[in-house]
């Protein structure tokens, strides 16, 4: 669980008051001991209030990935003016250091300002070999240097990339428009583990006859991974008619792979929403929340809802309602609230507006 910043502030204030009381009740020499290790524990008071938690205590990762990310969060508050050093050490497993991964110094430096309570990670580079050695395990202990608190342990399964992996769509939903200037929609597929060989993926399309007709009418298609490809874009030509049909949905489902890859959980199927450029949905209101940033700056959070398959352009003006209006942001529809932020000089009276919905120009995953 992430700790809100104001909780850190309250804890920091409480800790400062405790230290002030301690220094008033003891001699100056005793108060200076706060800067060094506690003679009873050998632990620095500056890091004694810090602890580590793991965002992912267990991680499965392919041998052909660039590195193992050991995700962690530093919790607590400190008087440190420098940085916090978190070090990872190999604690055991069937994997071999320098053969399966490069530990190096295993060090991650976390800044005190902005680092506490935020996700960080130690990068452990992986070694890709041509040996069929099966999956291997590795355990890593993460500790805060100078702290006597117990380390946290992360368990990693390194999956052999000589084995056949899995295949799936990169998203469970995609949005595109019949009137796209590119003339086609693009849906992305990716595969794990062994990417050395070519592979043919067969997938089916399901929807109404009118929806399938916009994509050429075929209900079964293939996609090709070339050697070395971990992901591919499948381009499907779109037929743009002049009928007002509203948006249509086509479900795509992976059926088979020529090299025996299994489908990924939750990503064997995706839904393509195809917007109609003859259908213009009604626009939603633009919500604006304003706040002060200090130092002569103001900031606003702007949000709106856009139908899937469409987009709206956000514009701003610093002069008047008659403009000139300048483009700032494009909200792409996904049927969930879309948010952006804007910061400007406090002396300005900035105004915002959104244009009517238009069909997407590109294909986007959601």
Rg (CA), the chain: 28
pLDDT number for residue 320 = 84
The domain made up of 287-359 has a fold known as Immunoglobulin-like (2.60.40)
Sequence-separated (6 or more) residues with CB below 8 Å from residue 160: 63, 132, 133, 134, 135, 136, 193
pLDDT score recorded for residue 355 = 92
Q: How far is CA 35 from CA 40, 47, 195, in A?
A: 14, 10, 54
Contact by Cβ (8 Å): 167, 223: no
Long-range contacts of 334-337 (CB under 8 A, 24+ apart): 334/173, 334/175, 334/306, 334/308, 334/364, 334/366, 335/305, 335/307, 335/308, 336/305, 337/303, 337/304, 337/305
Q: What is the pLDDT along the chain (366 residues), one digit of tens a residue?
A: 434 433 333 333 333 333 333 333 333 323 333 233 444 334 455 677 789 999 899 999 999 999 999 999 999 877 767 789 999 999 999 999 999 999 999 999 998 877 888 899 999 999 999 999 999 999 999 999 988 888 999 999 999 999 999 999 999 999 988 877 788 899 999 999 999 999 999 999 999 998 999 898 889 999 999 999 999 999 999 888 888 877 889 999 999 999 999 999 999 999 999 888 888 888 899 999 987 666 788 889 999 999 888 899 999 999 888 889 999 999 998 878 889 999 888 888 899 999 998 888 888 887
Q: Which residues contact 266 (CB under 8 A, 6 or more apart)?
A: 168, 172
> pLDDT at position 14, please?
38
Q: What confidence score (pLDDT) does residue 4 get?
A: 41
Report the alpha-carbon distance of residue 140 to residue 136 in Å, rounded.
Answer: 14
Q: What is the residue whose two structure tokens read 């499907």? A: 236
Give Cα 196 distance to the centre of its chain: 27
Predicted local distance difference test score (pLDDT) of residue 194: 94
CB 159, CB 134: distance < 8 Å:
no
Architecture of domain 164-275: Sandwich (2.60)
pLDDT at 270: 96
Cα 25 to Cα 20, 22, 94, distances in angstroms: 9, 5, 54
User: Which single residue is written with the structure tokens 């079964």?
Assistant: 220
**If DSSP codes are grouped into helix, strand and coil, which group holds residue 8?**
helix
Maximum pairwise Cα distance, the chain: 87
> What kind of architecture, by CATH, is found in domain 45-159?
Sandwich (2.60)
Q: What is the pLDDT of residue 54?
A: 94
- pTM flag (> 0.85): no
Q: Where are the domains of the chain?
A: 1-32, 45-159, 164-275, 287-359
- Whether 164-275 and 45-159 are alike in CATH topology: the answer is yes
DSSP letter string, 11-62: HHHHHHHHHHHHHHHS-HHHHHGGGSB-TTT--BHHHHT-EEEES-SEEEEE
CB 270 within 8 A of CB 187: yes
Cis geometry, peptide bond prior to residue 324 (ω within 30 degrees of 0): yes
The pLDDT value recorded for residue 183 is 85
Nearest to 195 by CA among 230, 242, 222: 230
Q: Which of 151, 98, 103 minimizes the C-alpha distance to 123?
A: 103
In sequence order, the β-bridge partners of residue 72 are 54, 120
């Amino acid at each position: 669980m992430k700790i809100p910043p104001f909780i850190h502030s309250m804890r920091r204030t409480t800790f400062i008051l405790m230290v002030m009381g301690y220094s008033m009740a003891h001699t100056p020499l005793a108060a200076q001991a706060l800067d060094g290790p506690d003679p009873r524990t050998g632990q620095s008071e500056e890091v004694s209030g810090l602890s580590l938690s793991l965002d992912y205590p267990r991680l499965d990762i392919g041998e052909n990935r660039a590195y193992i990310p050991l995700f962690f969060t530093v919790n607590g508050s400190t008087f440190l003016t420098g940085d916090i050093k978190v070090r990872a050490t190999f604690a055991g497993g069937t994997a071999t250091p320098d053969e399966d991964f490069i530990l190096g110094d295993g060090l991650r430096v976390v800044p005190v300002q902005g680092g506490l309570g935020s996700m960080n990670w130690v990068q452990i580079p992986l070694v890709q070999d041509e040996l069929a050695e099966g999956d291997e395990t590795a355990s890593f202990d993460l500790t805060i240097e100078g702290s006597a608190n117990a380390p946290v342990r992360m368990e990693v399964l390194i999956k052999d990339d000589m084995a056949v992996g899995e295949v799936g769509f990169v998203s469970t939903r995609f949005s595109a428009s019949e009137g796209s200037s590119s003339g086609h929609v693009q849906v992305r597929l990716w595969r794990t583990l062994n990417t050395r060989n070519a592979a043919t993926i067969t997938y089916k399309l399901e929807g109404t006859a009118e929806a399938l007709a916009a994509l050429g009418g075929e209900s079964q298609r293939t996609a090709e991974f070339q050697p070395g490809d971990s992901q591919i874009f499948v381009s499907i030509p779109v037929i743009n008619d002049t009928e007002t049909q509203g948006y249509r949905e086509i479900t795509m489902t992976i059926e088979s792979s020529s090299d025996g890859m299994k489908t990924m959980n939750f990503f064997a199927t995706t839904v393509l929403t195809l917007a109609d450029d003859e259908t213009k949905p009604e626009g939603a209101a633009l919500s604006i929340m304003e706040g002060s940033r200090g130092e002569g700056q103001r900031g606003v959070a702007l949000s709106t809802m856009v139908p899937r398959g469409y987009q709206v352009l956000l514009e701003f003006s610093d002069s008047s309602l008659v403009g000139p209006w300048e483009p700032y942001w494009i909200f792409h529809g996904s049927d969930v609230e879309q948010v952006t932020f804007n910061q400007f000089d406090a002396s300005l009276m900035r105004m915002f507006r959104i244009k009517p919905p238009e069909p997407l120009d590109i294909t986007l995953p959601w």
